[in-house]
Structure 1
Amino acid sequence: MVLIHGAMAQAQVASEASAQSSIAPSQSVAASDSGGLAGDIIVTARRREEALSRVPITVSALSNESLREKSIRSLDQLQQSVPGLTISSAGGSSNPTINIRGQDRPNLGEAAPPVVTYFADVPMNYIASIVPTYDLASVQVLKGPQGTLFGRNTTGGAVLIYPVAPNFETGGYISAGYGNYNKIEAEGAVNLPIVDEHIALRIAGQRIKRDGYVKMATGGDREDINDTSFRVSLLLQANDDLKNVTIYDDVAWHRSGDGPILTHVYGGPIALRSAALAPYYDCNVSITCDIDLAFARQQAAGVRKNWGEKHSYLRTRATGLSNTTTWNIGDITLKNIFGYRTAKTDNLAETDGVDLTLITAVNRAMLRQYTEEFQIQGSFLDDKLQTILGAFYLKSEPNGPSGLALGTFSPPSRPSMILSYRTQVSKAIFGAITYDFSGLVEGLKLDAGLRRTQDKTDSCSVGYPAIIPFDFGTPLATEDQCENGGSVVVNNTAYSTLGTQVSSKSKAWTWNIGLNYQATSDIFLYVTTRHGYRAGGVNTPLFSTTAPRSLAQFQSYSPETVQDFELGAKVAWRTGAIHGNFNIDVFRAKYKNTQRNVNGLANFDLDGDTSNDPSAGSIVINAGTSRVQGIDFDTNIYFNRNLSINAFASYNDHKYLTLGTPDILASTTAFPSTAEATAFRYAPKLTLGGGVRYEARLGEDAGNLVMNVDAYRSSRIYFGSFKDDLNLSQSAYALVNARIDWQKLMGTSVTASLYMRNIFNKTYANGAANSASSAGFASLLFAEPRMYGVQMRIEF
């Protein structure tokens, strides 16, 4: 899939590469110049330079220029420019849920993700996988199973993010802006050649501060921004064949947190809605003790005000160190990618937005992750045979106390602390080839790849009461205390910290094979099939085997596998001065042992012991067999040097074929009982989009005006697992954005910009704060209202 938003080569804003590829950190997309019009895109797709129109799998990519022209300031806004991509804050703003082709990771817990985010070829932690969009070379969205060419195994896709790399020219930029909600932003980068042709340094940073758009009746606001980020990149180059790039990045968030809005109280007598809820919040006399009265107040106030916890907060810190060495030896290239990442998040959140203390959680996670990847790339037989062989290793482990203090209405006087220390290890070897059969059939090539992956998870968890009043001031058992025993004192009572330890192992062969055919100079066809895998895992803590509704059968879950098939075509055309292209692919994928999240399980087992309730009231189960099929299409038309348009569409038909939901979940409405009743979360069936770009040349001394208008539409999105529960969904909605850039202002290196996102101020939800309907209420998180501002950028 290709998105090309622009008419001029130097303003090329989108491209496509192989779905199992990456653009090297030192490179960005490039285009040949054809009379000033955008020509063919050159990408380092499958670890080598290839023309975009000859890459045989789907990926959408946006350049730095594209991100600016579309006013994309956070990764969640990518979905308005990439068909079939959904990014939600359901797991919290610092832990986004990314969905591609119906696959997303649980918004709670530590299951292996079906979509992995990479920064500079290094996979990010499963928490705090946030990357600011400043000073980037490209962002790519890959669709379908990944793994035979790089990184970690996935069943849904990957998001690849590459920063601008150092070079041997002095330069950089500074940028500042101001917008509504008192938004103040500043960023910049400087590139310094230290030793010509040998050492270069690039330093970049960003600071953004903005008030929140959900006002709290108790004072303050939510959905604010208070972020600081910086990045340092060092290039060491012995010669054209041997170079090393080291990147350190740091992101710090100090926000007030998300702003949940109570949007529904389920009908019928409150005792039927939730037996646990009725004794505490059905007094019928005061908002402080009656959920129906609190809901009526929220409805009158709208979705930009709530009565939530005044002292909520979201503190996140993510750091990364990557080192990439590339050595070309004739027809062989050796590449080593080392990564070390840390993530820490501390979040006091509640799910209802009212002052009833329904469900409140303090979540703290501290992780460190090591990755190592080595590749041998080769070109043989007069370049007819292209090969890659590689090995991958990942270890994620605790880096301090990690756990969840959970306070619920069932009952409100017994909040619990559940600590979970989890170590995950993934090992793999992989290889792929491309062979040119042009000697037999001109333009015909074969692609094939194979991977062997082994995964292991070891977990120790322990639970005990939290302090009263509810707070994260409860003493935290360390990993050593969990594994070897000890005690903590809570509410003047000593509790043992000896935890329960569970493990899970899984392994699989995955592969892909395909043919691509350059039928003419303007028509490229391809077909491929892939077998993908996602690791199994464990749920924590150790569940009681004697509880009235025991969850012991869900202590672990099996790997998920997928077999997909994809057929595509890329076509270029010209009629006089007008030219363009269109790209289309159809796909079908079948998933077995589909991994899905089940929420709302606090006190589910009815044993009265909160210490053995699932962490965050959530588990992962294998939900049976599912099928996803659909079609992606995009087109670009260039009328002249000044005017171009683009449009895209993605249709995804999701369906469960069989459902393996045990009766214990179905009978208690924790999860649907039939395949027909089960929804795919965060996976709209149809997304549409498009844009117009017009450039007015004002003259050499005046500069250029570049105007962009783009629109996006999504069909209904389900936030829960039940198709018939539309309260946990967002109906179809459409957005329009616009931006004007005055480039080379009056002959200078200054660009002045005016932007507006969500022009018509559409109110829509982008995730659920509470998706467990068994709790008796639903609450949603709402996306940004109309946002506008001005920016000034100076390049030097």
Structure 2
Amino acid sequence: MLAASTVAIAASVPAFANADVADQPQAASVERGADDIVVTARRKEESIQSVPVAVQAFSSETLIKLNVHDTKDLQRLVPGVVFNGSGSELNTTFTIRGQGRAVVGTISPSVQSYVNEVALPNWGAVIPTYDVANVQVLKGPQGTLFGRNTTGGAVLVYSQAPQYDFGGYASATLGDYSWHEVEGAINAPLVQEKVALRVAGQYRKRDGYIRAGVLGQPDGQGLNSRAFRVSLLVEPVDGVKNTTVYDYFWSDTAEVQTPTELSNGVTLDTLPFPPAAIPFFKPIIQGILDRQKAVGPYVYFSDLVQRAHAQIQGLTNTTELNLGDFNVKNIFGYRKSRISNISNTTASEYNFTGCYLCAHADDQISDELQVSTSALQDTMSILLGGFYLRNKPKGVNALGLAFTTAKNLTIDEMRAGGVMMDQQDDSSTKAIFLSIGQKLDSVLPGLKLNLSGRYTWDQSSTCADGRAGTATPYSSFESCIASPTSSTPKSKFKKFTWSAGLDYQATPDLFFYGVARTGYRAGGANTPILGASLQPYQTFAPQTVTDFEIGVKADYSIAGARARTNISAYASKYKSLQLSASGIPPGIDGDTDPLNDPTFASLNLNVGSAVARGVEIDGFITPIENLRLSYAGSYFYGKIDYAPIGIGAIDTSNPRFNYAPSTSVTLAADYSVPDVLGGDLNFNVNWYRISNFRVDRAQNAGYNLLNASVELGNIAGSGLTVQLFGQNLTNRAYYLNPNSTGNFPGYQTWTAGAPRMYGVRATYRFGGN
């Protein structure tokens, strides 16, 4: 596929066999216009068509047209990316090329999210969708140039920066389920060409689309959030630029799950209960599943009032200095997360498992320093830097869990028969990195060699203590380690990773690249101190990957139609692959002590080696004036070679990666009619298809989503734009966010995706915006 497409593209693009790329006539280049998106995949601004990384980027205008309203909507824009959040979107993670992060425990991410180049913490990784400049999704191992070391990729979000023109916007949305939303921004130059201020905010409210089947319970999966951001730009003298951003986010919702079917490998005769109790529980489990099947995925049953509450703050300061031949950039970040959840993970009135207190309170600071320069008559570019991140608990970090077979318990009753598992994690990562780019025009005009290396040090200290559920959770890391019953497993890891590649700008519109690289994800410790039979799984080792990727990016014309095709193919080999084993039955260690059972019935394990390979493609064609047809697709193949695992919580009969669909596709059509009521009338239709994929012992069926919008922009030149949009127009039932997918209590629970919804959005832009 890659070879055939490359030949076709090359045949469509004018050849410049002997000309220096820099000297080629501008007229030979296909006009890119608004499609020439600037990305920062290598810590500098570059055209998306000339960066040797598989990356997709979206401007704020594109996000609006494609109905991106929250974090999980990004999944359908980028094939091969899967969003998951363990029932709560406050615990967000993306999986790219089969690499993500366990949603329970202290495991490091394989895909790191960033806002304004600051790494977000695991809990509280809320990606803003208001007043956004652009979103970039980088695929493959990252880290030699970008914040944390990862094995899967990175998601970069940039908010709109202050400008020296007065302006702003105000937007209001009304839709189904009493959906009402307001957002806006105002930009003001305080001192022309010296100081500018931008203030933006958002308020969102919508009723839940999963109705409560128990009287008195709230409807689930609604919206109830507010956020604001203040950005200050100061340029006191030439060559000095400082940007400070403060952001605040508050949310309070009911996030719920529904049972779907028995977990893989489980039958009603092999339920994970004592053999004598199975005849009693068979009709209960069957009744739970039958009732849910009868009412569908948009009704849930729970005796526990569920809640997801978050208060998140952040401060970012970016300083840029131009010192002649040297450019210095420092990025400081501070993140404060305070999150408290109540979750009925078995989604029924029976409290087989339940979290009556899931609390996370962490402060994170980070700093990255970069120094860049050039050498050898500007044929060599050099980037040297260092990175530091520290995540420290600053309050209650605990899980109050109930493992019972009783029905309709109050929280006090659950607490009386449950366990309190404190888990305070103090962790840090440090790194130094160097990148060199050398032009090889003397060998072949347009050829460039890229080399980079990074040395990373990771360490963590986790205080864990399992106690009776009536115990008060510890309020700090210090109070936890002072307890005589607590344990504090520590871990340290270090690793050198590298990247080496060649890229070739054959013509202004045809770019080839190839890269070999390594990636690394730190190991860690499971909690609490496990029972004797589980002691071999107390810690888990780092995961590494060696990756090879080749790609071509081309802009060209076919019979006068402007087109773009970007293709990448990759192969990856993993060692000490990390997986999360969930749904581990209480008492599996045989000692009848619930205080040393795995936290939240999960363990993070090294399960063996693995290989993965795939192809990704994206592009567009404009067959007629004002019509743009866009496409993107991915194919993934992965196989796990399991090492002997002495615990039956991993389904070793299934060699597939978690959250890794074999195929996913996005198609979109965008048609504009100019000069309608003095503005532009735009029609957009986009379709997303994902194949089935594995999640531990569960299988998520593939599904299609169809969305559309009609927009009349800048009516009569007034700055007013009105958009009518529809989401999931075919009303397809689909599932997100698995929660209890192991063999306890024997069935899977998922969160249903949003049903068909309609809405209208009006936006007024003024001034320099």
TM > 0.5 fold call: yes
Q: Does 1:682 align with 2:676?
A: no
Pairing 1:600-615 to 2, within 5 Å after superposition = 600-601=583-584, 602-615=586-599
Kindly provide the amino acid, as one letter, of the partner of residue 567 in structure 1: I
Q: CA deviation at 1:660?
A: 1.7
Q: CA deviation at 1:578?
A: 1.2
Given that 1:276 and 1:410 are in contact with CA atoms closer than 8 Å, whether structure 2 keeps it comes out as no
* Structure-1 residue corresponding to 2:106: 110
* Structure-2 residue corresponding to 1:481: 479
Given that 1:416 and 1:463 are in contact with CA atoms closer than 8 Å, whether structure 2 keeps it comes out as yes
Q: 1:211 to 1:39 in 2, by over 3 A?
A: closer
> In structure 2, what is the Cα distance between the partners aligned to 1:130 and 1:39?
28
Q: Does 1:366 align with 2:361?
A: yes
Larger CA deviation: 93-102 vs 165-174: 93-102
Q: Does 1:316 align with 2:310?
A: yes
> 1:451-500, CA deviations, whole angstroms, 9 ceiling, x for partnerless residues?
00011011111111113xxxxx8454643332123xxxxxxxxxxx6311
> In structure 1, what is the Cα distance between the partners aligned to 2:367 and 2:253?
33
Larger CA deviation: 638-647 vs 122-131: 638-647
Q: Does 1:743 align with 2:713?
A: yes
* Structure-1 residue corresponding to 2:377: 382
Pairing 1:52-71 to 2, within 5 Å after superposition = 52-71=48-67
Given that 1:90 and 1:781 are in contact with CA atoms closer than 8 Å, whether structure 2 keeps it comes out as no
Given that 1:661 and 1:671 are in contact with CA atoms closer than 8 Å, whether structure 2 keeps it comes out as no
> In structure 2, what is the Cα distance between the partners aligned to 1:36 and 1:480?
57
Kindly provide the amino acid, as one letter, of the partner of residue 97 in structure 1: T
> In structure 1, what is the Cα distance between the partners aligned to 2:30 and 2:508?
16
* Structure-2 residue corresponding to 1:725: none
Kindly provide the amino acid, as one letter, of the partner of residue 672 in structure 1: D
Q: CA deviation at 1:45?
A: 4.5
* Structure-2 residue corresponding to 1:76: 72
Q: Which runs of 5+ in 1 are unaligned?
A: 1-31, 468-472, 486-496, 723-727
> In structure 1, what is the Cα distance between the partners aligned to 2:582 and 2:325?
53
Kindly provide the amino acid, as one letter, of the partner of residue 427 in structure 1: K
* Structure-2 residue corresponding to 1:692: 669
Kindly provide the amino acid, as one letter, of the partner of residue 368 in structure 2: E
Kindly provide the amino acid, as one letter, of the partner of residue 705 in structure 1: L
Q: CA deviation at 1:201?
A: 0.7
* Match of residue 242, structure 2, among 237, 241, 244: 244
* Structure-2 residue corresponding to 1:304: 298
* Structure-1 residue corresponding to 2:401: 406
Given that 1:481 and 1:498 are in contact with CA atoms closer than 8 Å, whether structure 2 keeps it comes out as no
* Match of residue 626, structure 2, among 633, 637, 642: 642
* Structure-2 residue corresponding to 1:174: 170
* Structure-2 residue corresponding to 1:708: 684
Q: CA deviation at 1:297?
A: 1.9
Kindly provide the amino acid, as one letter, of the partner of residue 239 in structure 1: V
Q: 1:278 to 1:515 in 2, by over 3 A?
A: farther
Given that 2:398 and 2:473 are in contact with CA atoms closer than 8 Å, whether structure 1 keeps it comes out as no
Q: 1:536 to 1:147 in 2, by over 3 A?
A: same
> In structure 1, what is the Cα distance between the partners aligned to 2:269 and 2:83?
36
Q: CA deviation at 1:55?
A: 1.3
Kindly provide the amino acid, as one letter, of the partner of residue 297 in structure 1: R
Given that 2:234 and 2:241 are in contact with CA atoms closer than 8 Å, whether structure 1 keeps it comes out as yes
Pairing 1:184-333 to 2, within 5 Å after superposition = 184-218=180-214, 219=216, 220-264=218-262, 270=268, 272-276=270-274, 279=277, 282=280, 290-333=284-327
Q: 1:282 to 1:679 in 2, by over 3 A?
A: farther
Q: 1:190 to 1:34 in 2, by over 3 A?
A: farther
Given that 1:346 and 1:365 are in contact with CA atoms closer than 8 Å, whether structure 2 keeps it comes out as yes
* Structure-1 residue corresponding to 2:12: none
> 1:191-247, CA deviations, whole angstroms, 9 ceiling, x for partnerless residues?
011111111111000010011111112232111110111111111112342110001
> In structure 2, what is the Cα distance between the partners aligned to 1:433 and 1:478?
44
> In structure 1, what is the Cα distance between the partners aligned to 2:392 and 2:722?
46
Given that 1:523 and 1:571 are in contact with CA atoms closer than 8 Å, whether structure 2 keeps it comes out as yes
Given that 2:385 and 2:434 are in contact with CA atoms closer than 8 Å, whether structure 1 keeps it comes out as yes
* Structure-2 residue corresponding to 1:653: 637
* Structure-2 residue corresponding to 1:21: none
> In structure 2, what is the Cα distance between the partners aligned to 1:189 and 1:764?
35
Q: 1:599 to 1:578 in 2, by over 3 A?
A: same
Given that 1:464 and 1:611 are in contact with CA atoms closer than 8 Å, whether structure 2 keeps it comes out as yes
Q: 1:42 to 1:160 in 2, by over 3 A?
A: closer
Count the aligned residue pairs. 727
Q: 1:404 to 1:278 in 2, by over 3 A?
A: farther
Pairing 1:551-590 to 2, within 5 Å after superposition = 551-590=534-573
> 3-state DSSP class of the match of 1:594?
strand
Kindly provide the amino acid, as one letter, of the partner of residue 386 in structure 1: S
Q: Does 1:465 align with 2:449?
A: no
> 3-state DSSP class of the match of 1:344?
strand
> 1:345-401, CA deviations, whole angstroms, 9 ceiling, x for partnerless residues?
111001222111121112111001110110001122332111100001111010101
Given that 2:43 and 2:146 are in contact with CA atoms closer than 8 Å, whether structure 1 keeps it comes out as no
Given that 2:87 and 2:750 are in contact with CA atoms closer than 8 Å, whether structure 1 keeps it comes out as no
> 1:671-714, CA deviations, whole angstroms, 9 ceiling, x for partnerless residues?
1345xx23311110101111111010125x52110111111110
> 3-state DSSP class of the match of 1:501?
coil
> 3-state DSSP class of the match of 1:358?
coil
Given that 1:214 and 1:259 are in contact with CA atoms closer than 8 Å, whether structure 2 keeps it comes out as no
* Structure-2 residue corresponding to 1:133: 129
Q: Does 1:528 align with 2:515?
A: yes
Given that 2:255 and 2:306 are in contact with CA atoms closer than 8 Å, whether structure 1 keeps it comes out as yes
> In structure 2, what is the Cα distance between the partners aligned to 1:188 and 1:622?
47
Given that 1:216 and 1:310 are in contact with CA atoms closer than 8 Å, whether structure 2 keeps it comes out as no
Q: Which runs of 5+ in 2 are unaligned?
A: 1-27, 407-413
> In structure 1, what is the Cα distance between the partners aligned to 2:759 and 2:40?
36
Kindly provide the amino acid, as one letter, of the partner of residue 572 in structure 1: D
Kindly provide the amino acid, as one letter, of the partner of residue 787 in structure 1: M
Given that 1:270 and 1:278 are in contact with CA atoms closer than 8 Å, whether structure 2 keeps it comes out as no
Q: CA deviation at 1:741?
A: 1.0
* Match of residue 650, structure 2, among 650, 666, 671: 671
> In structure 2, what is the Cα distance between the partners aligned to 1:777 and 1:617?
14
Q: 1:789 to 1:460 in 2, by over 3 A?
A: same
> In structure 1, what is the Cα distance between the partners aligned to 2:230 and 2:476?
34
> 1:652-679, CA deviations, whole angstroms, 9 ceiling, x for partnerless residues?
10111x212422x1xxx311345xx233
> 1:303-327, CA deviations, whole angstroms, 9 ceiling, x for partnerless residues?
1112113421110121111100000
> In structure 2, what is the Cα distance between the partners aligned to 1:661 and 1:574?
54
> 3-state DSSP class of the match of 2:536?
helix
* Match of residue 88, structure 1, among 76, 84, 98: 84
* Structure-2 residue corresponding to 1:27: none
Kindly provide the amino acid, as one letter, of the partner of residue 557 in structure 1: F
> 1:485-521, CA deviations, whole angstroms, 9 ceiling, x for partnerless residues?
3xxxxxxxxxxx6311110111000000000112233
Q: CA deviation at 1:43?
A: 3.8
Q: 1:619 to 1:102 in 2, by over 3 A?
A: same
Given that 1:71 and 1:755 are in contact with CA atoms closer than 8 Å, whether structure 2 keeps it comes out as yes
Pairwise CA RMSD: 2.1
Identity of aligned residues (%): 35
> In structure 2, what is the Cα distance between the partners aligned to 1:345 and 1:637?
45
Q: Does 1:428 align with 2:431?
A: yes
Kindly provide the amino acid, as one letter, of the partner of residue 649 in structure 2: A
Q: 1:47 to 1:679 in 2, by over 3 A?
A: closer
> 1:717-773, CA deviations, whole angstroms, 9 ceiling, x for partnerless residues?
2222x4xxxxx2222211111011110123311001100011100001123221112
> In structure 2, what is the Cα distance between the partners aligned to 1:325 and 1:740?
41
* Structure-1 residue corresponding to 2:4: none
Q: Does 1:781 align with 2:765?
A: no
